[in-house]
Structure 1
Amino acid sequence: MSKPFASLSLDMDNQWSYMKIHGEEGWESYPSYLDIFVPHVLKVLDELNLKITFFIVGQDAAFEKNHKYLRDIADAGHDIGNHSFVHETWLHLYSREEMTAEIDTAHDIIEKVTGKAPTGFRGPGFSWSPTLLEVLADKGYVYDASTLPTVIGPLARLYYFSTSNLSKEEKEDRKEIFGKFSDGFKKLKPYYWKTKKNQRLLELPVTTMPIFRIPFHLSYLIYISNISIHLMSIYLNIAIFLCKITKTQPSFLLHPLDLIGGDQITSLAFFPGMNVSSERKVFLFKKVMKKLGKHFTLTDMNGHVNSIIVKNELKTEQVPD
């Protein structure tokens, strides 16, 4: 009997986007660590024989200095997704015209540079809106992956604000980042949105722990491992057990800083979690992948989505007003 799928994706947030989100000066010059991170992550993934989805920010694809590294990702056989153009966590506030321009601009430059047309989207900071879903459906996208069904969104936002240098106005723009407590009651398994034009768009949520609705993607596992690696293993085992008994096929999320530390990205050494070495992070990643691989067939988002479409057993929900 074949194992259920678990998809792996990485939000390709660059140095400037981390600085921008946290209100750090100098982000406008678009400093990049792709020349360091991309060879590093591709080597790690190759060692594990894994293919994942990279959600790429369009602004990075617009700079020639990044072209080689983004092409290297596609040439290595990894799937490519759209992560917006300017990576603003208040994407849900965009008008229809702004949203269309944001998606189209990112899509076109990502396809031009990588040679692969994205068919899936994830909003920065898990930002999404009915307008976004309609724009994606109009463009022929197959899926959205912007929802994070967790009850701890307000706590994550509070921590984010407390560790940032944001102004009062910037915090107002970001007041819904990571979502509301009620988001924890959104569907955890994939489902279809139905737009006002009767178009369907598959939603593939970032998986949180069934029943408890608390995150278990790699950022959280690394944090727990700093307390105790044994505790991290217990936490992950509980998450896997609950996914299996509820028949939830995980969509497992990665970020660049989950796999590389301040020893290599010295410009972000001040950032939370960057005191953990790259070697340690890679060790933890491989440990987690080995555990997930025992229970699930690890694939990229495209492979996961295709398996869902073949089964075609999902419910459809009306896009909210």
Structure 2
Amino acid sequence: MCMFAPASFVESLVIWSKALEHFMSNDVQIASISVDLDSMACYREIHGLDAAKVEGADAAYAVGVDRLLGFLDELGLKSTLFVVGKDAENPAHHGLLKDASTAGHELANHSWAHDYAMRKFSEVALIADFERAEEVLVEISGQKPRGFRTPGYNVDSRLINICERRGYAYDSSVFPCPSYYTAKGAVMGWLKVRGRPSRSSMTRAEALIAPIHPYHPDPQKFWRRGNSKIVEVPMAVTPGTRLPIIGTSLHLLKAKGFDIAYAMMRRTNPFLNLEFHAIDFMDDSDPGVEFLRPHQPDLQVPWAEKKALYRHVFSRVNEDYDFDTLINLARAAREK
């Protein structure tokens, strides 16, 4: 058996390597910070807890969003905020969202109702949800949203096709991460056994094999590349292992772990979608999260520690990527 690869094969590898190096070094690389503005009610649903009426601003806004915007302002960065329509209708949240839009942050659609089973809605109910969410976002920002993310990453082809028909430039709901899917299923099963079933919902398993870079999906099989005009912008995962690089996982990786993961990602991905939730900018000393302390371990990480970690992550990424909103990332990806 020959121990050496054929010359043509080696030459092909060299050519491919040089082409990739040229592509990554000469083209602009874009990273986006996208944040789901899920209220405390969403976490009650996830953990199977009783609903509670909230007067005034939700803690996710009063603390999380306010802190997020202040932090990004310090760094001179803009984000894409995925806004839940029914929360945006709360007058106590209008000011923050309007200020965010005025400051250059993108307001995108995270549905009106934030129902984890949204993909099971009838066509009429889906369109009504889109219309109501769009109406309140136009009222706040003066612009119709161009991006959508379904609650709980629970997307399907029908949802993406509706986005395209409604003129959206991108969807950002696919999370091609087997480890997250497995962990979510285990937690939901455990809660059910405990008699406290989660009101969240499992995603389509096909999403786990979807491309990890922005792509035009197949209109019938969203997890495959196709000829749709809309761009799908998946959450960031590592190549090969598909480990999650999102707000929650950063707390587990710490700075050193992120640096190792990032070294793999930066060589292969011209676009990064770093996804967070408003709660990622909070800790258990903040008002309004007391009920979550036994259920949400990442709240035990002090905000000062999170802030230092996020600063490290954004600084590291900014060495190789230009930060921009998801709408601009999607436009650049469309031109590839």
TM-score normalised by the chain length of structure 2: 0.81
What is the DSSP-based 3-state SS (H/G/I as helix, E as strand, rest coil) of the residue aligned with 2:230?
A: strand
Using the alignment, how far apart are the partners of 2:118 and 2:193 within structure 1?
Answer: 17
Using the alignment, how far apart are the partners of 1:50 and 1:163 within structure 2?
Answer: 39
Are residue 70 (structure 1) and residue 97 (structure 2) matched? Answer: yes
Are residue 9 (structure 1) and residue 34 (structure 2) matched? Answer: yes
Q: 1:19 to 1:122 in 2, by over 3 A?
A: same
Aligned residues: 300
Q: 1:164 to 1:83 in 2, by over 3 A?
A: farther
Using the alignment, how far apart are the partners of 1:154 and 1:38 within structure 2?
Answer: 27
Match runs of 1:38-49 below 5 Å: 38-49=65-76
Using the alignment, how far apart are the partners of 1:56 and 1:174 within structure 2?
Answer: 18
Are residue 246 (structure 1) and residue 275 (structure 2) matched? Answer: no
Q: 1:200 to 1:63 in 2, by over 3 A?
A: same
Q: In 2, are the aligned partners of 1:22 and 1:165 still within 8 Å (CA)? A: no
- The AA in structure 2 aligned to 1:224 is L
Mean Cα deviation higher: 236-245 or 91-100: 236-245
Q: 1:170 to 1:138 in 2, by over 3 A?
A: farther
What is the DSSP-based 3-state SS (H/G/I as helix, E as strand, rest coil) of the residue aligned with 1:111?
A: helix
Q: 1:168 to 1:84 in 2, by over 3 A?
A: farther
Q: In 1, are the aligned partners of 2:49 and 2:196 still within 8 Å (CA)? A: no
Match runs of 1:151-190 below 5 Å: 151-161=178-188, 164=191, 171=198, 174-177=200-203, 179-180=204-205, 182-190=206-214
What is the DSSP-based 3-state SS (H/G/I as helix, E as strand, rest coil) of the residue aligned with 1:209?
A: coil
Choose which of 172, 181, 196 in structure 2 pairs with 1:145.
Answer: 172
Q: In 2, are the aligned partners of 1:7 and 1:52 still within 8 Å (CA)? A: yes
Which protein shows a greater Rg?
Answer: 2
Q: Which residue of 1 aligns with 2:141?
A: 114
Q: 1:152 to 1:281 in 2, by over 3 A?
A: same
Post-superposition offset of 1:247: 3.4
Q: In 2, are the aligned partners of 1:8 and 1:53 still within 8 Å (CA)? A: yes
- Unpaired runs of 5+ in structure 2? 1-25, 221-226
Post-superposition offset of 1:306: 2.0
What is the DSSP-based 3-state SS (H/G/I as helix, E as strand, rest coil) of the residue aligned with 1:54?
A: strand
Q: In 1, are the aligned partners of 2:82 and 2:109 still within 8 Å (CA)? A: yes
Using the alignment, how far apart are the partners of 1:105 and 1:112 within structure 2?
Answer: 11
Q: 1:85 to 1:165 in 2, by over 3 A?
A: farther
Choose which of 249, 253, 256 in structure 2 pairs with 1:224.
Answer: 253
- The AA in structure 2 aligned to 1:87 is H
Using the alignment, how far apart are the partners of 1:136 and 1:249 within structure 2?
Answer: 21
Q: Which residue of 2 aligns with 1:85?
A: 112
TM-score normalised by the chain length of structure 1: 0.85
Using the alignment, how far apart are the partners of 1:65 and 1:100 within structure 2?
Answer: 26
Mean Cα deviation higher: 41-50 or 59-68: 59-68
- The AA in structure 1 aligned to 2:62 is D
Are residue 135 (structure 1) and residue 152 (structure 2) matched? Answer: no
Using the alignment, how far apart are the partners of 2:309 and 2:64 within structure 1?
Answer: 17
1:253-302 Cα distance to aligned partner (Å, 9 max, x none) = 11112222111244343322111111111111111111111121111102
Q: Which residue of 1 aligns with 2:233?
A: 204
Q: 1:174 to 1:13 in 2, by over 3 A?
A: closer
- CA RMSD, Structure 1 to Structure 2 (Å): 2.5
- The AA in structure 1 aligned to 2:251 is I
Post-superposition offset of 1:159: 4.6
Using the alignment, how far apart are the partners of 2:252 and 2:269 within structure 1?
Answer: 27
Q: Which residue of 2 aligns with 1:99?
A: 126
Q: Which residue of 1 aligns with 2:58?
A: 32
* Percent of pairs with identical residues: 24
Post-superposition offset of 1:223: 2.3
Using the alignment, how far apart are the partners of 1:35 and 1:202 within structure 2?
Answer: 33
